[in-house]
Structure 1
Amino acid sequence: MSDQGLSVVIPVKGRVPQTHRLLESLRAAIEACEEPVEVLLVDDSEPADARAHQEHCTTFAARYLRGPRHVGAKRNDGVRAAAYDLILFIDSDCLATPQLLRRHTQTLRGADERVGAVAGPTFVQGADNAMFRIMSRSRLLNSAFEWPAQARQVGWATTCNLAVRRDAFEAVGGFAERPLTVVGGEDVDLGLRLTEAGHRIVCDPEALVVHDKSSIESLGTVCRRLITYGRSGQWLLDVHAGRGRPKLNRVSTLSATAIAGPLLLPAVAAVLLAADARQRLGDDAPTLRSLAESIACAGLDWCFDLGEFIAAWQLGRPDRLFTGFGWTDDPAFVWDREPAQRYGG
């Protein structure tokens, strides 16, 4: 049986400066926590970065572990090595706020046994560049980070800020270690399995994490993240088959149009893009800048659909080219206020 306390598990590859900042931020959070805390860094970096991580772990009294490639497998290794009965998962490109650990431990200790996990919101640092302004309109990129500030309970949560009871985590088998992508989807799968096993995931809006802005500063990073999210959705349909729903996949639609009537392709693309841009414009006054940002965001969000399209073929499931994963189609989500942005659609 584990001792009472909190083990913080951080999976990492590279990201030496970001991880140093995270470890430094955890120092104040540990001092504010009323329970014993340990920090475990599970790393598969190249040798130079690995040495730097080891030095930083020594500086901040964290435990360094060599781990596998997949992020879910790293987190599982961290839990297996952990000493305590509560586990907090946080990502290497995040910062802990001073009350983060105290809030998670108090919320879990004060909850009844049906509560298996606590999700806290994650807010992305602002960046004064065009990409950040454009993607702040996205329905997909960071919306799940903010759901714990909008809901009392969720059916799953991102594991950049999720505390779990170790016994509940182990009872459902931990994270999937071989999903379709190295990272992406394993957090959703864990949450759904916890919920299906009868555990609730409650939200604490004051258990805050800050996400590094580098994840949204460049075109390449944004596109890769969205494609990964789309691909992970198709993998989730393999392991949670009952959660599929019909979806107007834009990439599938354009591909079908190109085959059936290529001359119609520009018109169909324009109609789809205009409709999606209008949604992203929201209540903003239609200035030239807001229109341009909404159109650009809509086009980039199609990378999510591209990921679904690619994975449907990769998994040998072309029948799912117009099927999406029901990310929040679940009574386990209890909203205090309806989120402005959800996955899919």
Structure 2
Amino acid sequence: MDRISFSIVVATKSRVRLLTELIESIDVARKNYSGDCEVLIVDDSIPEESEAVQAVCREHDCKYIFYENSVSAKRNYGVLQAKNDVVLFLDSDCICTEHIIERYAEKYTDEKIAAVAGPLEFVGEDTWFWKAIEATPFLTCFYLPRFLPKVEWGVTANFSVRRQVFLEVEGFDETFKRPAGEDVDLGMKICEKGYEINAAAEALVYHSKKTWIPVKAMFRRLNFYGTADCDLIHKHPDRGDVVLPKRSMLYIIYALFLVLAAIASGKWWVLAGIPLVFLVENIVMSHLVNRLSREKKATLCQQFVAQMLIHDSDFAYLKRCAVTGQFSDIRKQMIYYMGQYNGMLEIGSYNTWLQLLLLMGIAALIVFLL
């Protein structure tokens, strides 16, 4: 029986050192696989860094492609240049394990299996801010292929797909200009065609924490995630569900009530209640989440930062809904996997009481002023 042939596609920019580490790990994996495996590096770095990337590609038998475009477009172009049966997407801030190609090949046992997703494990220094990131729900999807036999989509930092199927579903949607949402959309398009996406728990990739822990970059990343949520619900309306009101939406409503109360009463000190409500709500929610957590707990301050990250994503979602006129989607939540309901409902019951108390307090203040 002929071995499945692989084309590894890496879209990159300005990450020479990290990319070199990835390519060196790919080298080991290629040597441990008896089938054909090519590597395509799609890059749009500045000239000095581009020359360094080309030198690394020559040294390790990788095909260098210069293509200046979005991440989605670069990956699509890489697939068009690929020649083999299965395309494996890896990110330039990752390192793959030595038998990853073999582990992926073992999963393609049936033509109905169109794609296989592997898990990621974040490695590097556990900084104070990283502990806050871990307290958010945003890392869960990176670990799912380790625990589930099948998934509905996979993170593109470690995801393989039959090239023919990828082209059949028209690849990544390039309207996702920012690096968020296009991998979810790809998986859903594959499943909508009746194909399956298996998980390969041992096809592990190590993801560097360094590209996540800069505070500004992380808030920017979650802003992208929130925007992508809105676009995904618009494109896949069956994945948007009305579960619980977004806390950020409720906060906006509270702020409007306080502004109106200040205008009506002429007592502008009431506006001080806007940041106060936000502060109190997040401190109480941080305490509740820490108490309910079954895993390693963050400190109250770290949990507070985690709540800020969640608000950042939610505010971006609300802004995108308003800008695109998707007002009916403001009350919806993007459902990425079925187990997501459990955590949402567990926290939601406590959150409902908290929001009710805040609403009663604001109502009492307005009655007192007027």
Are 2:284 and 1:274 aligned? yes
Q: Does 1:301 align with 2:310?
A: yes
Compared with structure 1, are the counterparts of its residues 285 and 132 closer, same or farther at alpha carbon in structure 2 (3 Å cutoff)? closer
How many Å separate the matches in 2 of 1:340 and 1:52? 46
Q: Tell me the residue number matched to 1:229.
A: 225
CA contact (8 A) 1:249 1:305 kept: yes
Cα displacement (A) at 1:339: 9.0
Q: Whole-Å Cα distance in 1 between the matches of residues 124 and 341 of structure 2?
A: 23
Matched-pair contact (CA < 8 Å) for 2:6–2:86:
yes
Q: Secondary structure at the match of 1:84?
A: coil
Matches within 5 A, 1:1-345: 4-108=4-108, 111-140=109-138, 142-179=139-176, 181-246=177-242, 247-262=244-259, 263=270, 265=274, 266-267=276-277, 269-281=279-291, 282-283=293-294, 290-329=299-338
Structure 1 vs Structure 2: percent identity of aligned residues?
A: 28
One-letter code aligned to 1:120: G
Contact 2:290 2:300 in 1 (8 A): no
Letter in 1 for 2:52: A
**1:216-261 Cα shifts (integer Å, max 9, x gaps):** 3221122111111111111112211222222422322222221122
Distance 2:342 2:96 in 1: 24
Question: Structure 1, residues 105-141: CA drift from partner, whole Å, max 9, x if none?
Answer: 1221xx222111111100111313211122121111x
User: Would the aligned equivalents of 1:150 and 1:339 in 2 still touch at CA under 8 Å?
Assistant: no
- Cα pair distance change 1:276/1:192, threshold 3 Å: farther
Give the paired residue count: 330
Aligned-partner Cα distance in 1 for 2:26–2:68: 24
How many Å separate the matches in 1 of 2:56 and 2:344?
38
Match of 1:176, SS state, is coil
Give the 3-state SS of the residue equivalent to 1:162 in structure 2. Answer: strand
Greater Rg by CA: 2
User: CA offsets, 1:66-116, max 9 Å, x none?
Assistant: 2242111111111111110111011111111101111111221xx222111
State the 1:319 CA deviation.
3.5
Structure 2: 5+ residue runs without aligned partners? 260-269, 349-370
| Structure 1 residues 325 and 339, CA gap change in structure 2 (3 angstroms) | closer
| Matched residue, 1:332 | none
- The 2-side partners of 1:36 and 1:101 are apart by 10
Q: Which consecutive segments of 4 or more residues in structure 1 shift more than 4 A? A: 337-342
* Contact 2:224 2:316 survives alignment (8 Å): yes
Structure-1-length-normalised TM-score: 0.88
Equivalent residue, structure 1, for 2:263: none
Residue pair 1:234, 1:308 contacting (<8 A) in 2 also = yes
SS in 1 for 2:5: strand
What letter matches 1:114 in structure 2? K
CA deviation vs aligned residue, 1:170-205 (integer Å, no higher than 9, x gap): 1111111122x4211000000000011011111111
Deviates more, 1:113-122 or 1:253-262: 253-262
- State the superposition RMSD in angstroms: 2.5
* Separation of aligned partners in 2, 1:213 and 1:162: 19
How far apart are 1:268 and its partner, in Å? Answer: 5.6
Aligned to 2:115, what secondary structure does the other structure show? strand
Unaligned runs of 5+ in 1: 330-334
CA distance in 1, matches of 2:95, 2:155: 15
Aligned amino acid, residue 134 of structure 1: A
Q: Label 1:341 to 1:72 Cα distance change in 2 as closer, same or farther (>3 A).
A: farther
The SS at the match of 1:18 is helix
Greater CA drift, 256-265 or 16-25: 256-265
CA distance 1:94–1:338, change in 2 (3 Å): farther
- 3-state SS of 1:57 partner: helix
Cα distance in 1 for partners of 2:31, 2:278 equals 57
